[in-house]
């Protein structure tokens, strides 16, 4: 993947994370859906980086799991 494409994905993940925060501030459950996508993109970026960014990857995986649990709790 090119540096330009990775940078674009990084900006997309950042924009989604901010959108998720705004939705969360208004107590809207779709914030978790947005965060799931954002965290998955970030995890992919950090997994495919050279050298791999394992600390950031695992942080993204933990946040991804938290978003899935949050979505499940808010929508049951």
The residues spanned by each domain of the chain are 3-75
| pLDDT, tens digit, 9 for 90 and up, residues 6-65 | 999 999 999 999 999 999 999 999 999 999 999 999 999 999 999 999 999 999 999 999
- pLDDT of residue 2 exceeding 90, the answer is no
Q: Which residues contact 48 (CB under 8 A, 6 or more apart)?
A: 1, 6
Q: What is the CA radius of gyration of the chain?
A: 13
Contact between residue 52 and residue 66 where contact means Cβ atoms under 8 Å apart:
no
- pLDDT of residue 67 exceeding 90, the answer is yes
pTM (whole model) above 0.95? no
Q: In whole angstroms, how far apart are CA 47 and each of 5, 9, 53, 54, 57?
A: 15, 13, 6, 7, 6
- pLDDT of residue 1 exceeding 90, the answer is no
């Amino acid at each position: 993947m090119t540096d330009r494409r990775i940078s674009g994905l990084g900006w997309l993940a950042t924009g989604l994370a901010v959108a998720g925060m705004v939705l969360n501030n208004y107590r809207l459950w779709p914030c978790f859906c947005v965060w799931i996508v954002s965290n998955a993109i970030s995890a992919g970026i950090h997994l495919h980086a050279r050298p791999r960014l394992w600390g950031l990857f695992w942080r993204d995986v933990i946040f991804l799991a938290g978003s899935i649990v949050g979505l499940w709790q808010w929508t049951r």
